[in-house]
Structure 1
């Protein structure tokens, strides 16, 4: 094979290597991992869950960095650049660093076929080992039990929430999905559950393998007190913490899950309250109730399933505006659009549907048809793409209105990409 010298060429190749975009299972990934000799000599914190895992991973990395630990952070998907997925000490991996990692994986895999995500996961770990990090935070891609990240044994594993999403792969009930999420737990090691009503399957799996299960509202909790909050637990506990910099009704719970994981690994990675405060204040993740403009306000959120939409509705209610709330929405075809719209019923005064730039997208007209059955009298407009939908919504908006753009990572990415080209 001719040597590839650009990251774009490598990513295009990764998309062609395996016949399926998603092929859950650990055998192929484990074979290549073993051939590479990827044996981390640093602690691993693995974060899974239907929603909140990206934010929780970001809190963990920011706090660990503030405490002085050289931290590797692996997340997915990215919004604008693949480099966003792999960070060391707060810095995105450079193209040359990623290419070097991919070349190592490619040389070791022989004839083993890997998906885009599997290849990238092994490449990220190779990069972390080369960089000599102190700790890694790994975000699960899909599910947990059979996800590529799960070839590495977590020293602490966090499940942020369990709800209905990716049902074609994970099952059609919270019990089935909870079992898949719990697959990242390990015997005798801390297993954090941040879902306030965890499925029995998750609890039973943790008990059966002998994990050290710690559940929100039983073993730890977050208590808001005016402009700060307290993390309470059966162990350490931390007080006078700043509210998370990220807006959202769910962010306090996400932050408490991160602190539960840090508390569980305190003996290996001591973290003081000053580092926690700095990390919480510094954590920002694009696409999580992110303001990009004012008068009218434009807010971006990657919410794309009913649980995330319920959290989004709660955040909208907690931050009322003088004018109307307009929404631009684009979703993928395999998402529960009806459930998402039902969760936001009554919160949106006018809608614009659009088609995200993805082969998996639901057409804007089909999305509008689903919407009409859910939102009553609110007007619905249809545009072929995200940028045109937002432009039309802005033209219709007054200064005291706000515009919410949501529904998928692709929808948010299109707005961020367009904004970057206008600067």
Structure 2
């Protein structure tokens, strides 16, 4: 592909572009903004139109993006969103009013980035981010919601200045890039905040360095449980926000804490959002791979959770929703995760474990993952996620709950065999 002419590249399919992106940079993750900003300047992508939300955080980014997207759509705004990674299809990453764009549009965007970058080397994610900004620039967008890929300060998405910046939560993940503790990670994520702009933090225990960074740059920091919170009743909740109270709100299917964070961002944005749009958006917001139920008898749940913060939430949800049901887990994880700490919150709840291997440079063998579980755990090893899931389904009863988690790749593999 390196000897391909521009004329040939102009005719490439989306799959050809994705194959090309996998091999053009010397490493898959290369933190820093200079290269990607330089190309964005050439393409005039640094000042998108509309109200821009930037969403960072260890967990909760996807559901927060979805809340913002759907509520704004219900309020009559045209939305554009960029998220990552995708579950099944690359086109999931860019949506306009909730709809994916076609292969040809993505291929055209990749070609535009390729022509603009010249000799500047870009990673897969940087290339994709620029292509997404190019695609969304072609649309009459009122509200743009951009999800940070990793960290915040040095993530490619952070070349864009958000009108409202959000850190949903701060947990331990990607320690080789962000550091081994919440304070350092909090500082990295606070890099999305901007001077004089609303800076939302949805973590009820914000790291000191996050707060210090927001204060140092004079961002308008709004903290969960201090500047906004929810009160709950049997069949609805009330949001107490920086600009007032929204009451009689329906409970959403996605995490309530992320709904609160999204509502704080919306109230801080200056957008005209009627409470009826909020209510309807909360009812409609769903997201694949977030405690997603794909089957009954047995109940099968899929969750992309892959760190301790995520599995702590999953464990609480299992106790709340299935207090008297037997839990069986299907799990596969990547090599660079905190395996033991991630599995620990679920160990008291799970009766049987079915572990699958993931192939590739970041893959992790089921036999190695087994070492993260207690010695006496009931464990079955499988060659891959598909076999682990199939074995679990054959072994359980119709009243059991099968939880499948550990990675986006884990959920994607099960989606392919259990559509």
**Where do residues 374-393 of structure 1 align in structure 2 (5 Å cutoff)?**
377-393=376-392
Q: What is the Cα deviation at residue 345 of structure 1? A: 2.0
Residue number among 318, 321, 332 corresponding to 1:319 in the alignment: 321
Q: What is the Cα deviation at residue 319 of structure 1? A: 1.1
Task: Report SS of the residue matched to 1:73.
Answer: strand
User: 1:48–1:139: 8 Å Cα contact kept in structure 2?
Assistant: yes
Could you say which residue in structure 2 is the equivalent of 1:58? Answer: 66
Could you say which residue in structure 2 is the equivalent of 1:14? Answer: 21
Could you say which residue in structure 2 is the equivalent of 1:414? Answer: 413
Q: Deviations over 1:13-59 (max 9, x none)?
A: 11111111000100001100000011212221000000001110111
Could you say which residue in structure 1 is the equivalent of 2:336? Answer: 334
1:329 & 1:159 partners in 2: Cα distance? 27
2:118 & 2:86 partners in 1: Cα distance? 28
Question: How many residues align structurally?
Answer: 411
Q: What is the Cα deviation at residue 320 of structure 1? A: 1.8
User: 2:54–2:164: 8 Å Cα contact kept in structure 1?
Assistant: yes
Q: What is the Cα deviation at residue 222 of structure 1? A: 1.5
Question: Structure 2 length as normaliser, TM-score?
Answer: 0.96
Q: What is the Cα deviation at residue 120 of structure 1? A: 0.7
Could you say which residue in structure 1 is the equivalent of 2:210? Answer: 202
> 4+ runs of 1 displaced by more than 6 Å?
none
**Where do residues 183-202 of structure 1 align in structure 2 (5 Å cutoff)?**
183-202=191-210
2:361 & 2:408 partners in 1: Cα distance? 13
Residue number among 326, 343, 346 corresponding to 1:344 in the alignment: 346
Task: Report SS of the residue matched to 1:21.
Answer: coil
User: 1:357–1:410: 8 Å Cα contact kept in structure 2?
Assistant: no
Could you say which residue in structure 1 is the equivalent of 2:262? Answer: 258
Q: Deviations over 1:316-338 (max 9, x none)?
A: 11012544100010000110010
Q: Deviations over 1:77-120 (max 9, x none)?
A: 00000000000011011111111111111111111011111011
Q: What is the Cα deviation at residue 225 of structure 1? A: 1.1
2:86 & 2:242 partners in 1: Cα distance? 36
Residue number among 215, 224, 229 corresponding to 1:216 in the alignment: 224
2:35 & 2:277 partners in 1: Cα distance? 39
Q: What is the Cα deviation at residue 356 of structure 1? A: 2.5
User: 1:186–1:211: 8 Å Cα contact kept in structure 2?
Assistant: yes
User: 2:329–2:354: 8 Å Cα contact kept in structure 1?
Assistant: yes
Q: What is the Cα deviation at residue 372 of structure 1? A: 3.3
2:323 & 2:217 partners in 1: Cα distance? 49
1:107 & 1:42 partners in 2: Cα distance? 26
Task: Report SS of the residue matched to 1:165.
Answer: coil
User: 1:321–1:400: 8 Å Cα contact kept in structure 2?
Assistant: no
Q: What is the Cα deviation at residue 391 of structure 1? A: 1.0
User: 1:36–1:108: 8 Å Cα contact kept in structure 2?
Assistant: yes
2:76 & 2:68 partners in 1: Cα distance? 13
2:117 & 2:329 partners in 1: Cα distance? 46
**Where do residues 261-340 of structure 1 align in structure 2 (5 Å cutoff)?**
261-266=265-270, 269-320=271-322, 322-340=324-342
2:242 & 2:305 partners in 1: Cα distance? 33
1:167 & 1:245 partners in 2: Cα distance? 30
Could you say which residue in structure 1 is the equivalent of 2:237? Answer: 229
2:69 & 2:21 partners in 1: Cα distance? 27
Task: Report SS of the residue matched to 1:117.
Answer: helix
Task: Report SS of the residue matched to 1:131.
Answer: coil
User: 1:358–1:410: 8 Å Cα contact kept in structure 2?
Assistant: no
- 2:237 pairs with 1:238: no
2:191 & 2:166 partners in 1: Cα distance? 11
Q: Deviations over 1:323-362 (max 9, x none)?
A: 4100010000110010012111211011011013443111
User: 1:321–1:402: 8 Å Cα contact kept in structure 2?
Assistant: no
Query: Unaligned 5+ residue runs, structure 1?
Result: none
User: 2:331–2:405: 8 Å Cα contact kept in structure 1?
Assistant: yes
Task: Report SS of the residue matched to 2:138.
Answer: helix
2:265 & 2:181 partners in 1: Cα distance? 27
1:356 & 1:272 partners in 2: Cα distance? 46
1:229 & 1:78 partners in 2: Cα distance? 31
